[in-house]
Structure 1
Amino acid sequence: MASPPPTLPVRVPLITEPVGILGSLKAARRNVLSIIPDIATRQPMVSGRTGKRWHMVMDPGALRRVLLENEANYPKSIVTKNLLRPAIGESMFIAEGAEWRWQRRAAAPVFSHRNVMNLAPIMTAAAERSAERIAGAGNRAVDMAEDMVRTTFDVIADVTFSGDGSFDSDGVHQAIDAYISEAGKISLFDILGLPDWVPRPGRMVSAGAMRDMKRVADDAVEARRKRGPEGVPDLLDLLLEGEDPETKRRMNTAELRDNLLTFIVAGHETTALTLAWSLYLCAFDARVQDKAREELRRVCGDGPVTGADVANLPYIRMIADEALRLYPPAAMVSRSALADDTLCGRKISRGDTVIVPIYALHRHHQLWDAPDAFRPERFETRKDLQRYAYLPFGDGPRICIGASFALQEAVIILGTLLNRFRFTPVTGKAPEPVMILTLRPEGGVWLQAEPL
């Protein structure tokens, strides 16, 4: 990967020459984002054909139509569903239409402000444990990407199953990682749209681990159903109580399990990535760290960062927002057109793939000033941001249900660490942004952490 100018954080080199289907497949298996043409950061829409017709959409007005106004015409693509169904079944992330709507209505109260705030002490405790591990490393560099995965998994395991011992969180973690690393690589079968029952060689490697994980999760759900809640309700308690207000339908064990696994998959790695990239960026820019620390000392002093502090830490939130802009965990999503439509004055035919390259959208030269630069202050006046130009959690009716949970967790953990340490980069250890299912810092985020 070519080195970026020293004034800019690392970025993905986008293609400047057309590549064929085999070239696209080879590139996508290494880094999905490498198939984005550089022109996508300057044009409202780019179309082409790689096996089937596709359109990359970066125009906010057209994105509003895809994600909101004509959302029913653009369900998640077959590729997306084929990749994720073995891990998370027919959860609300994959379900469409009426099946999605009732699940979403039943689960929405789980992520109310009150419930999310009730879980904040778990986030603070995990952040404090992370700080202790980092301090224990002494003068050795720490891979903050690895530690943030551990920290956020601690959170999701505790808020999902209250750490009651009925659920093998380490086993789940290993099974999910194995599935993502082996099965997440895009196969030619997926690009060609072959049905899910056609075996994918790479995906078969982890099938046994996924079956075992689901059986363990089913047992944990049934045990909780019999035992009932104890203390502050966790996500499983809240989902067990959940009911669609329109149909009065409740989730059965398989539906509960698939949605819990969705929250675990989506709710720990994406937040870990946000934190890892945030810390990389803070180490990249000492000025930002100093400004963040001033805010933290004013609000929290030397004490822990709590849920009650989050609303009073706007600059910490801006750092996380800017990290989500530069390195969105879900950096590319795709939809399939069910019927003909028009976007940006261009015909979309039934069966076309509509790609939202969020990575390119967030670095678009017509939508952002100095798009490749790290500037948290650009989020100071949120009303000035163009709607549908910033989509770290998606938008429309399918906006991420756990966005408030993730942001609260990110502010608490990031604030805790910046209040305890001064981070500096390790020479020659810059991470490489690589996306398979999520945009990960390949090589890790190696930082020196100086206690304050």
Structure 2
Amino acid sequence: MSDPTLPAHVPFATQPLGLLGSLKAARRNLLEILPELAVRQPMVSGRTGIRWHMVVDSEAIRRMLLENIDNYPKSRATKNILRPAIGDSLFIAEGAHWRWQRRAAAPVFSHRNVMGLAPIMSTAAARSADRLTSSDDRAVNVMEDMVRTTFDVISEVTFSDDGTFDSASVHRAIDAYIAAAGRVSIMDMLGLPDWLPRPGRLMSGQGVKQMKKVADDAIEARRLRGPDGIPDLLDLLLAGKDPETHRQMNTSELRDNLLTFIVAGHETTALTLAWSLYLCAFDQDVQDRARAEVQSVVQGRTATGADVEKLPFVRQIVDEALRLYPPAGILSRTARSADTLCGRDVRPGDTVMIPIYALHRHRMLWEDPDAFRPDRFADRSAIDRYAYLPFGDGPRICIGASFAIQEAVIILATLLARVRFDLVSGRPPEPVMILTLRPDTGVWLKTSPV
């Protein structure tokens, strides 16, 4: 029975699951494959068709993400799932192909550019507050509203809402693709060759083809039209150039990266906001304290980019939500060559995972790890750098991390200033991870004007 004093969480496995048990658990909820040992030991290893290791030791994680990064590319299963939808974009690419794309795209997410997008975030937040305050104290699935809100933001910052791109249909197509193809296949768990087709992924490709055509047409239309007014994300990417090779992205490279930014850029922030609102409803003292901070800063107006640094407690709530419910709950890699982690041999072809969900709840790293305590982030310097990785780390740290944090703080602050959130009895969210960690049946809260 779950502890009512703790927010929703998934218990760790206390018994070996075996191949079929692991497959069933992985297809239902990837978090269920995480062993309880992963929150007590530095590394857990086993074999489920293929050899695997779960690493939660700081030095070993540092080696994987920083010192020996080329030996730990994204896992074959991850690439098999995502490549049909987002190609060899920044999220998938490796080596030199990744490096030049990263150099070309990095200026797009500079502090100046991200701050320039804050008014779009503030406007979308205000619209969300209007919707939520008109609900007449009914139960509302705030997850749905956060998806709508962050999708408004990403659509505007990507294409200036110029009518050339049906971003909603693109989102539906990728969502449908992930639903059909995103679950782990037994062929992946057995380590069968990548060229063998995975049936679910074959049946889900038609919508993706149409989605890519829509994106290609929008990119070509923008090339012909050129920028108009304040540059949006597409303008900045079209102008982007690798400072070392002077290479620019062609249409397919632009499209794959735009689709990555559109999907990842809005869903991860929507998830963070939905979980943050649930946690604020779970602990009314935290909600009241955050609201007081916001009201003292914004004083009746909508939160802006300049307010973000003046709202440290709101930021701490976001950080704690990302700790308890990291959107990427497991990072999966495939070892290219032999290595040693935590004194154990890692062989070429082994799957090496960083179970972020377990890392963020490790008994040796966090006090009362399953509890909601935003104050643990009051002094970020006291937190082990490799104990908290909601955006990864090293050269491949999420390129949009600052964008996501700014958006989450602005929207959360705006909502807390105007809306009170309360739990709905008998409807706790259920954390479920397929590719991202989502509330399986939504986040249902009662909302009312402050």
Normalised by the length of structure 1, the TM-score is 0.98
Alignment match, 1:199: 197
- The alpha carbon displacement at 1:308 in A equals 1.1
> Of the candidates 197, 213, 216, which is equivalent to residue 214 of structure 2?
216
Per-residue CA deviation, residues 178-228 of structure 1 (Å, 9 max, x unaligned), is 011111111112223334442222223321100000000000001111111
Q: CA–CA distance in 1 between the matches of 2:186 and 2:158?
A: 36
Q: Distance between the aligned counterparts of 1:22 and 1:6, measured in 2?
A: 32
CA distance in 2 between counterparts of 1:375 and 1:231 reads 43
Provide structure 1 residue ranges, at least 5 long, that are not aligned to the other structure.
none
Residue of structure 2 in register with 1:108 after alignment? 106
Q: Which moved more, 1:117-126 or 1:195-204?
A: 195-204
State the SS of the aligned residue for 1:53: strand
Q: Stretches of 4+ moved more than 4 A in 1? A: none
In structure 1, give the amino acid aligned to 2:249: M
Amino acid at match of 1:175: A
Map of 1:53-452 to 2, 5 A cutoff? Answer: 53-452=51-450
- Give, as a single letter, the amino acid of the residue that structure 2 aligns with 1:267: G
How many residues are aligned here?
A: 450
Q: CA deviation at 1:350?
A: 1.4
Aligned partners of 1:93 and 1:174: how far apart in 2? 20
3-state SS in 2 of match to 1:401: coil
Give the share of equivalent positions with the same residue, in percent. Answer: 70
Distance 1:18 1:244 in 2: 48
Contact 2:52 2:353 in 1 (8 A): yes
CA contact (8 A) 2:135 2:448 kept: no
Q: Point out the more displaced range, 185-194 or 266-275.
A: 185-194
CA shift, 1:4, in A, is 1.9
Q: Is the 8 A contact 1:118 1:232 kept in 2?
A: no
Unaligned runs of 5+ in 2: none
Name the SS for the 1:243 alignment partner: coil
Equivalent residues of 1:175, 1:206 under 8 A apart:
no
Q: For the residues of structure 1 that align with 2:271 and 2:441, how far apart are their CA atoms?
A: 13
- 1:78-137 per-position Cα deviation (integer Å, ceiling 9, x unaligned): 011011101100001100000000000000000000000111111111111111111222
Inter-partner Cα distance in structure 2 for 1:307 and 1:292: 17
How far 1:294 sits from its partner (Å)?
A: 1.2
For each residue in 1:147-194, what CA deviation from the matched residue of structure 2 results, as whole angstroms up to 9, or x when unmatched? Answer: 111111111111111100000011111101101111111111222333
Question: Superposition RMSD on alpha carbons, in Å?
Answer: 0.9
Q: Give yes or no for contact 1:55–1:355 (8 Å, CA) kept in 2.
A: yes
CA shift for structure 1 position 20 = 1.1
Distance in 2 separating the partners of 1:248 and 1:221: 20
Residues 50 and 191 in structure 2, CA contact (< 8 A), matched pair in contact too: no
Q: Distance in 2 between matches of 1:157 and 1:193?
A: 38
Question: Contact (CA 8 Å) 1:130, 1:151: kept in 2 or not?
Answer: yes
| TM-score normalised by structure 2 residue count | 0.99
Displacement after TM superposition at 1:238 (Å) = 0.4
